[in-house]
Structures are given as structure tokens and as C-alpha cells.
Structure 1
Amino acid sequence: MRVLHIITGLGVGGAEQQLRLLVRHLPVTCDVITLTNPGPVADGLAADGVRVTDLGMRGNRDLRALFSLVRWIRAGRYDVVHTHLYRACVYGRIAARLAGVRAVVATEHSLCATRLEGRTLNAGIRALYLATERLGRATVAVSPTGAGLLRDWGVPDKRIRVVPNGIDASRFRFDEVRRKEARAFYGVPEDAYVVGGIGRLVSAKRFDVVVRAVAALPGDVRLVLAGSGPEEETLRRIARELGIADRVVFTGELPYLPDPRIDAPELPALLSALDVVAAPGTDETFGLAVLEALAAGLPVLYTSAPALADLPPDAAPGAQRLASGAETFARELLRLRTAGPGERAVPDAVRHYSIESTARQLMDVYTAALAAGGSTWK
């Protein structure tokens, strides 16, 4: 089986890094096309031996990309086309059908109740999404919560498949050496109590709540924000105004896997350096950062994580759901700091979302799509 993955960009984002991890575990031949921004994940895929092509798309209305995609799909004689992220799903579905491939699968990584990949949802976005969604065989939601949103949008239930994000838990296992190295790299004292925030620095993540919470805590508490985005300067300003700029570290985007282009510890190493992860975002599709923190054996304070909502309450005893407010987070962070470090145990929730299981489930989706559409290339 030959599978072509089409994605909007390959910067260091959750969907992009999930794609790299997935390709490593799929037992099929995979190529990847990025419409634009062949960032560090593109280099990582290439290092893994995956053929990566950048179309150099110049904007949402660059129709040349559509015809380039058609040519690539025909030349590659792919059995399945799998699209990721909104722009790639729109262009990729159309191109695949024009090229004669009917086994088209899309994964909806970032659909929330009011936003799609950070965009505020409106009638135009929904209409274009639904018009092109009909060209595919299956739309994959990464959680039952996401599947419900797709149904509410008008996607037929028969085309929705739930295949959760997966993690390679072994990579996130706590390591004392990595803890010391990461703290030294960022200038964080070994005896500091370190709160982490993981994800895009956008308003929906509400990292301002964590900044304000840390400002209310004793001076030995540090905050490390791993990610980048348009809210970074706002968060820096809030930290300065609260007088804790010297207690907040901004790492920028960090890869899941070692990357020669990024001179910094990868994300799993950073998680070893933390004592707790705070995730006050209220509009999440899955909650991958919460699971990664749990895989590192960390306690987690969160507001929204569909990945945990879909599991029994005892699947993640180290995770506590809170209302998204600075006072609430400050109180619980202080409680955890006072209690001291506990055993870094990995809960059942992490094992439930193994990348091997995700790859097997996705292969079932591919097989069903091929069976429904038949083979294109004879």
C-alpha cells in the first residue's frame, strides 16, 4: 500500500509532530507533501527516510498548488491520500479526486466548539469544509468529543471514524540526567519548583492564567512555557508587569524527537525538568500535552482534555480538572509544591493512547476506504 500524506505545513506543531510519529509506525510506504513552511518536522521526516516535498504554496488562493498536487498524486500512483489540517484537507481532497484516487482520508486535528486551528468558525469556513469533506471516504476525529462536533457540523456519521492521537510513552519516561541538563540549559536552579505550560502561545490556551498564578506563589517557583505563537509578547508583558519576568522562561517550539536544527533539549527532556504541568485552555480538541505530561509521571492541572474525558475517572489519578482561573490554579499549585514530589508513575491513560494502537486503527480506516473505493491503479 502506498499512502500520500498532505499537510498544510511542517513547523513544530502538535499535528505535524503527530504525523512524523505516525509515519514511523505505519507498516506502509508513506510520502509527505507540505503545502508550505517545510520547517523542522520536514527535516525530521527526511532524516527518518521519508520523501518530503514542499509545494511552496503562496496563500489560500494559490490554485497552482492544486494542479501540482494532482500531478504528484498521479505520478506517485498512491492507493490512499491522507490529508491533515484545514487548507490541506480542502486542496488535498479535491486534488485526489481529480487524480482518480477515491480512498481519501482526512484527520481533523484541531476542531473545537468555536475554532478551527485557531480560526474563529464562520459560515464560509463551514461551507467549504463540508463541500470538500464529501469528496473523502472517511474523516478521522481524534476523540469522541471531536466526532460529536463533526456531527453537529453536518458530517454524516457513516463517514466519521474515531482514531485518537498516539504517544510514544517510552520517550517521555522521567530521566534524572535529562532533568539536570535541561534545567542547566535554561538557567533554572536545581532546587526550584518548576511549573510547565506546553503548547501554542495563543489566546485559547490561556497561559496568562498560569503566569498570573505563578506570580502569586513563592519566589522559588519558576514557569517554563514551551511553544511559540502570537501571544508571546503579551505573556512577556504580563510577566514584566507582575514583576516575575526573571522567573519565566520562554523556550520557543521544541521537537518531540532530536532535531539538528534546534539547539535546545527536545520536549521529552524538558518534561523531565518540570514538577507539574498546567493546562488552563478551555477549548481543546484532544489534550495531547496533558497526556505527554502524564507519560513523564507529572501531576497535571487542566481545564479541558477530551482525551481524559473519554476515559474512566481512575485512568489518570495524577490529573486534576480545574476551573480556568488564576486563583484556582495558584491554590492547587501551592498545594502540590507543599506536598512535595510524588512517585513518577505512568497512569493507564497513557497506555490507552499508545502510538502502536493508533497506527493499527488507522490501517483499518485505510483498508476500509480502499474496499469502498476499489483500487485506482491497475
Structure 2
Amino acid sequence: MKVLHVITGLAVGGAELQLRSVLQHTRHDADVVSMYNPGDVAGMIRSDGVRVRDLGMTRNTQISKLFQLRDLIRAGGYDVVHTHLYRACVYGRLAARMAGAEVVVSTEHSIGETHLERRRMTLGVRALYLGTDLCSDATIAVSDTVARRLVDWGMPARKIEVIPNGVDFGRVAFDAEARARVRAEHGIPPDAYVVGVLGRLDANKRFHLVIEAMAKLVGERTKLLIVGDGADRGRLEVLAREHGAAEHVIFAGERHDVAAMFSAFDLFVASSEQETFGLSVLEALANGIPVLYTTCPALVGIGTDRARQVPGDAAAMSREIAAEIAANRGRADEPAIRRAYGIEAVTERIDDLYVRLRERRAGAPQPVGSGRH
């Protein structure tokens, strides 16, 4: 089948990188349209041999882009249109139905208790999302937590399919050479203990808690390495200085060599206030390092002693980090993560969903929600 993925943008982010991983493993022919901002991930996807087009939006309300996308879908003869992220869902689902696409699927990557992809859940946001859902055959929720939030928000449970994000274990495997290189690049001694955080630097990630928790723990042999960039960077740098820890709190900026950065860590801390999945936690575990997290829906029901949930306050987090530093547990494999979240199996479930929905459209009814767990 021919599948068109429509995504809001392709700057580096969890949903964007997850799309790339799915495209690398799908059995269907696929193209991508970015509504705007075809950033670094667009280049990565193109380097994999997948066609990426930029719709060139410059603001949220450009009705002309709806018709441009409709014409693009119609001209491409796509069997399936799969939308990702809010703006792409609003425009893409409507355009797909207008173009006569057989199957329309959405993936909900990031719905919180109060925000949808950093948008506050106003009546207008909700109305647009649920209104355009009428044009969709199914929505993939990346966790049971997301599925519950969608139902609470007003989406019919029968239209929801729970398929988790997948982890490309090869992409995040431990690399001893990369570990040494990254540490040398940032002036970190080979034998230092490195606590790492990774993600977009915004308020929801609460990296300020980790800086506060680490302020009295960092030194010549203990470092905090912050990987990512965003609007919160300036505030975090000031915070590190105010705590007298700036010398040992290292800002690496945005990086694409995820395996290398994880390999440089000895402990990963995920401090988000809200998460819909927690892909970075799984990637850290796949790299072999222990994890402390405040919330991670992906680990619900997964038995592991390599990851522990911790309170979301700096004092308690500091005690937990200190205990991990003292234990210095080293690296170990986590088979439970491999069994539950391998990218190959996850992509196969998405590919199979397309087929089931197309068969249902053709008159052979199939239960949409058969992939729930």
C-alpha cells in the first residue's frame, strides 16, 4: 500500500524521531509531508531514501494549505493517510477525506492532563481535534494512559488502538568508543560518574529539579550532562550558576548521536511533570544504564529493577541520585524492554492496522481495537 505520513514539523523531537524509526521498518511504500519547519529529522528521513515534502505553512490558520494538501494526497494516489501531532491531525484528516483516501489514521503522541502538545486544552482546541476525528478511521494511542485521556476527552473508545512507541535497540546500543569521545569533548574525566538528562529544554521536563538535586552532589568526579536545547536553556544555566554548580553542569546542546550521549551517562534521570509514554526512559534502559523517573507510562506493568520511580521534588530526588551514585550499578541488559517495545514488532502492528482498516472499508469488518493491551 501507499502511505502518506503528515506531521506538523520535523525538528528533533520524540514523535518526529519515532516516525523516522517506523519508516525504516515499514513494509509499505511511504512518503512524508511536513506542515512546516522541515528541520533536522527531515534530512535524516531523506537520507534513508524516503521522500519528504514541506507544505510551507507560516501560521496556524492557512485554509489554502488544506486544499494544497488535498491535491497532493489525491495526486499521489495514497491508500492510507497517517497524521501525527495536532496541526497535522486538524488539516490532514480533513484533507485526506476530501481527497478520497481509503484509510485515515492518526497517532496521538502527546496528550497530557491539561495540555495537548504544549497547547492548553481550551474548548476551541478540543472542538477542532474531536471534530476532525470524525474524518479518521482510528487513532493510535502510544500508551494506555493516552487512550484513557482520549476517552475522557470525548473520543469513542472503539476508535482507539493502543500501539506503543518502539525502541530501535541498534540505534541506542552502548558504544564504548563513543562514550570516551563524548566525555573528552566535554572535558569529563573517563572515571567520572555522569548523571544525564536528555530532551527538549522546556518547563514540562522540569530539568531545574535535577540541577537543584545535583547541586551538592556534583564535583570533579560527578557531573551532570544536559543534552538538548529549547526555551528553558537560559533559565537553567542561570540556576546552575546560582547554585554554584555551573562548572560541573554541562550543557551539550541539541545532539543527534543519541547512542553516544546515552553511552556517556552512568545514570539517566527523567523528571517530567507529565508524559504520555516515556521513550527516552526506554532508550536509556536499552543502552544499559539505570534510570530514575518521575512518570513513565511505558513502564506500567513492566517488571524491572533497572528503573525506579522517584518523587518530583528536589530534596527526595537528590537522595535517590546519591544512592545510585554510591551503588554505581554499571550497565546491564533489560530483556523485558526488548520483548515489549522492539521497533520491528511495533511497526508490524501499525502496518497490520492499515490492512485491517482497508479490509473493513472494503466490506470485511475487523475489530479496530484488537491491538489494545
What is the TM-score with the length of structure 1 in the denominator? 0.93
Distance apart, 1:306 and its partner CA = 0.2
Moved more, 333-342 or 287-296: 333-342
CA distance in 1, matches of 2:254, 2:122: 29
CA distance in 1, matches of 2:245, 2:332: 29
User: 1:205 corresponds to which letter in structure 2?
Assistant: K
Alignment of 1:199-238 (within 5 A): 199-219=199-219, 220-238=221-239
CA distance in 1, matches of 2:186, 2:33: 35
Percent of pairs identical after alignment? Answer: 48
Q: Deviations over 1:140-196 (max 9, x none)?
A: 100011101011011011110001000111222222111101111222221221111
Aligned residue-pair number: 362
Contact 2:80–2:354 at 8 Å: present in 1 too? Answer: yes
Counterpart position of 2:353 = 365
Alignment of 1:26-175 (within 5 A): 26-175=26-175
Unaligned 5+ segments in structure 1 are: 256-265
CA distance in 1, matches of 2:227, 2:83: 27
Q: Deviations over 1:256-292 (max 9, x none)?
A: xxxxxxxxxx011110000101111121000001000
Counterpart position of 1:259 = none
Counterpart position of 1:275 = 266
CA distance in 2, matches of 1:343, 1:230: 33
Distance apart, 1:344 and its partner CA = 2.3
User: 1:15 corresponds to which letter in structure 2?
Assistant: A
Counterpart position of 1:263 = none
CA distance in 1, matches of 2:119, 2:155: 19
Distance apart, 1:24 and its partner CA = 0.6
User: 1:18 corresponds to which letter in structure 2?
Assistant: Q
Counterpart position of 1:285 = 276
Q: Quote the RMSD (CA, aligned, Å).
A: 1.3
User: 2:267 corresponds to which letter in structure 1?
Assistant: V
Moved more, 168-177 or 277-286: 168-177
Distance apart, 1:371 and its partner CA = 1.9
Q: Deviations over 1:59-114 (max 9, x none)?
A: 10012211110111011000000000000000000100110114100000111111
CA distance in 1, matches of 2:211, 2:69: 44
Counterpart position of 2:323 = 335
SS in 2 for 1:60: coil
Q: Deviations over 1:307-327 (max 9, x none)?
A: 001x24x2x211000111111
Contact 2:110–2:116 at 8 Å: present in 1 too? Answer: yes
User: 1:247 corresponds to which letter in structure 2?
Assistant: H
What is the TM-score with the length of structure 2 in the denominator? 0.94
Counterpart position of 1:258 = none
CA distance in 2, matches of 1:356, 1:86: 26
User: 1:278 corresponds to which letter in structure 2?
Assistant: V
Counterpart position of 1:321 = 309
SS in 1 for 2:30: strand
Runs (4+) of structure 1 exceeding 3 A deviation are none
User: 1:10 corresponds to which letter in structure 2?
Assistant: L
User: 1:367 corresponds to which letter in structure 2?
Assistant: V
User: 1:284 corresponds to which letter in structure 2?
Assistant: E
Contact 1:291–1:350 at 8 Å: present in 2 too? Answer: no
SS in 2 for 1:169: coil
Classify 1:343/1:231 alpha carbon distance in 2 versus 1 (closer, same or farther; 3 Å). closer
SS in 2 for 1:328: helix
User: 2:298 corresponds to which letter in structure 1?
Assistant: A
CA distance in 2, matches of 1:193, 1:130: 47
